[in-house]
Structure 1
């Protein structure tokens, strides 16, 4: 007789157990001046590693596992990197590893956007630096979640005028050549990919991801594919995003009344964008609590408001992410919008309903959220069938490996199977088969979700979690 096991889902009261899952979720934003070993902006007088640790302390409750790391090469804009630069960068990565973080890495030159050409480097020097950085990136590959193209313009964001001063095709090719083959490179705008790579260069195209900035709910010209949601470019972005890593950040909180004429961003519009865009990571530094944490923008918002003709009284008391903690979300809302979720997320361990909000939904469903739907085997078969489901916004493409293992009565491995990460698309049940030794009786199934840095992920079930593996008993 065929045996079918239906594992229990993780109750919503235990959602915090999944926050440490790697390669997904909320992220930090930190900076290193590679010449001085100091921070930038509000951390200009800080040792950069101390600043990193301080940022981690500010967001202990959110437990981010990824930090967007800006390495500013400003002092080397007209000369090669020296030993000091590499010592400072390596020390920073050592700290990243000690803190069990991964870096969403970006190299940039211009931090003073008021004088962008003064700090800019030439294409020749950028290529020299990338060639120098190649061994360093390979050495630290395990601690890098993704690389953002960077280099060009203020903050390495490829602003339009800065792109006109550089042969961006040459730079993108240099980025691809001098970085590990399995490392995704996120670009700021879709047309960076479309204009600079040949349509038949499948390998290079597959490495391109996106970082979509200035997300304010409504489409904006500064978004990755512009503001026309009906355009072919926008539709391409949605398709391409399903097969790559996508990062996002909102505007600063003080920009809300300038660009939206409202204190806060609409959470429904934002979640819809995150779901449709298959977002894997999202900034905690923007539109949350930057007014309290002393972000560099807090020193300039008064001038920004004056230029826009907005009074200080119209400034919101805090960021949209904080506001969304008070905006309820329900199963009916999620069903109506066709947003992915687990029903068990709305109950505690005693199956009593618990209230949820938009902040929690974004926090818990960014990237992947994998669960085991069923495990089946029969005494006359030599396979174990496993059905997995991903209720997150995106496939777990950042992970290094996902594998299934079946264990026998003598604790020996009866069979193993690797799972293609791209197969675990959002909102679908996916069936996998593990061939096992004929005539053997399986007693447990193990599921390993491992990141490049060795960190492992829990599934959204009630399961034993030992040695980084999720275990399910067959009895």
Structure 2
């Protein structure tokens, strides 16, 4: 969000903290018994407290968790395609220089995701040309080289630029689909998730008289979702927009809440917590990718002169909002240190300490072993950056009569929904091999859940470790919250 809304947006919601159980019932083809074939596998949700048969991660190792892909605190930058080539429309800064500046500015915060606004303002009313696609390709390549994934949003409308008609948007989407097809490897390796964007100021869906949601909303969402690969998620800004998502696509459409403050019932949120529908929607969003950001530092409530300052918001309340909405990413660029020398809300949280028991009292999932390793306390800022998205820990390891069993617990705020593959690494007669764990279901590992895996081993197989990744051939692998060796994408059991 480039600035605040100046209009109240009608949104959905309901009351109360919701950390309900999403078990293996969310997964298709659930197996009830362990088969006899080599490497047959079984997964079951359990309520047991994880043991330390696989040592938990140490304080010295903890920052390695921040390198995990497709999660965490994120940056934000812009590119306005065409001529003049700019970052934000009307700004003089070169967009590639700005992107590099953001990467350097936030290096110490270890982000692996950046929200990229791609403004098509210079092409409102005409086709995108090769210059535009060359600029877009260069930006995707820049972030791929930096090992940073992109949260992608296209937009037209800014303070001095009008919105586009549906005809223009549809034509550009067809061109973008062709570009993504021709550059499929680059798109897959650089884009983490899409945001709908396209309509309204900053792509937030409001203040645009060129687009009529009642007549064109469903067609727009259908066009965008058909463009995306089946394993790519989309986010929308308001519940009003979500209503236009075709039913067949709703399992991969989450939300981005661009106005998170320390009032769970604020009317500009995606889901004010006092709305009767809040509980059902937060449960639904446990199985989608979701993003959030606070208002800019230096602003007041409601973007008014007499509203209360939002520069020192309560971090625990905001953690509740983030956890309740299963957020995978959250903005570093808003209300942190966007202005040189300023110390806004998130910056203050770096010295505001809490404990695992205090977080449990307000319904926020944290890893107690990690907090214990750090001396029993953790800053609000660290709770946020370590627990956004997934944080997975191995435990309960044993081998009994050729059956391997171990558990995975997710202490993060969201399931590892981009991790489509889970493999077991073994040695058979001195030869290392990797076998897919067929019982794995990413949707079962929602926040706070523990899943126990049982795998039948051949007589000559020795378990070595596990590897979780975007897909079998991907190098985007998960570092588990364990002290054992992590090498080549493999988390070793010992």
Counterpart for residue 376 of structure 1: 398
Q: What is residue 223 of structure 1 aligned with on the other side?
A: 269
Return the alpha-carbon distance in structure 1 between the equivalents of residues 97 and 420 of structure 2. 29
User: Per the alignment, do residues 76 and 163 of structure 1 end up closer, same or farther by CA in structure 2, a change over 3 Å counting?
Assistant: closer
User: Which has the larger displacement, 230-239 or 185-194?
Assistant: 230-239
Residues 354-363 or 32-41, more deviating: 32-41
The residue aligned with 1:169 is 218
- 2:213 corresponds to 1:188: no
In the alignment, the residues of structure 2 paired with residue 181 and residue 331 of structure 1 have an alpha-carbon distance, to the nearest angstrom, of: 37
Q: Return the match for 1:288 from 336, 349, 353.
A: 336
Secondary structure at the residue paired with 2:412?
coil
2:425 to 393, 405, 413: 405
Q: For the residues of structure 1 that align with 2:295 and 2:276, how far apart are their CA atoms? A: 25
Out of 416-425 and 402-411, give the one that drifted further.
402-411
Match of 2:412 among 392, 397, 400: 392
TM-score when scaled to structure 2? 0.82
Question: Deviations along 1:218-244, whole A, 9 cap, x unmatched?
Answer: 13222113x3x2323322321111010
Q: Confirm or deny: 8 A CA contact 2:201 2:208 kept in the other structure.
A: no
Q: 1:422 aligns with which of 443, 457, 472?
A: 443
Greater shift, 268-277 or 41-50, is seen at 41-50
Q: Please report the TM-score for the alignment, with normalisation by the length of structure 1.
A: 0.85
Structure 1 partner of 2:130: 83
Quote the residue 2:378 is aligned against.
Answer: 356
**Does the 8 Å CA contact 2:415/2:447 hold for their aligned counterparts?**
yes
Deviations 1:407-449 (A, max 9, x none): 3351333743142111111112111122322x22414222333
**Quick check: 1:365 aligned with 2:413?**
no
Change over 3 Å in CA distance of 1:18–1:148 after alignment to 2:
same
Residue equivalent to 1:144: 191
Whose helix fraction is larger, Structure 1's or Structure 2's? 1
Separation in 2 of the partners of 1:435 and 1:36?
Answer: 61
Structure 2 residue matching 1:332: 3-state secondary structure = helix
**Aligned residues of 1:414 and 1:442 also touching (Cα < 8 A):** no
* CA offsets 1:210-265 (integer angstroms, 9 cap, x no match): 1011101213222113x3x2323322321111010000000111124654456411
Higher relative contact order, chain-length normalized (CA < 8 Å, sep 6+): 2
* Residue 233 (str. 1) matches residue 280 (str. 2): no
Gaps of 5+ in 2: 1-50
Residues 411 and 30 (structure 1), Cα distance of their counterparts in 2 relative to 1, 3 Å cut: same
Per the TM alignment, residue 161 of structure 1 is displaced from its structure 2 partner at its CA by 5.1
> Residue in 1 aligned with 2:348?
323
Give me the CA root mean square deviation. Answer: 2.3
Q: Give 1:130's aligned residue.
A: 173
2:453 counterpart of 1:432? yes
1:15 to partner: Cα distance: 1.6
2:117 matched residue in structure 1: 70
Taking a change above 3 Å as real, the CA distance of residues 404 and 441 of structure 1, as seen in their structure-2 partners, is: closer
Structure 1: gaps of 5 or more residues: 294-316
1:107-164 Cα distance to aligned partner (Å, 9 max, x none): 001122xx4xx52111001000001111323421331111000100111110165586
Deviation, 1:457, is 2.1
- Contact map agreement 1:152 1:162 (CA 8 A) in 2: no
- Tell me the SS of whatever aligns to 1:186: strand
Partner residue in 2 for 1:312: none
User: 8 Å contact 1:395–1:426 — kept in the other structure?
Assistant: yes
The alignment partner of 1:28 has SS state of strand
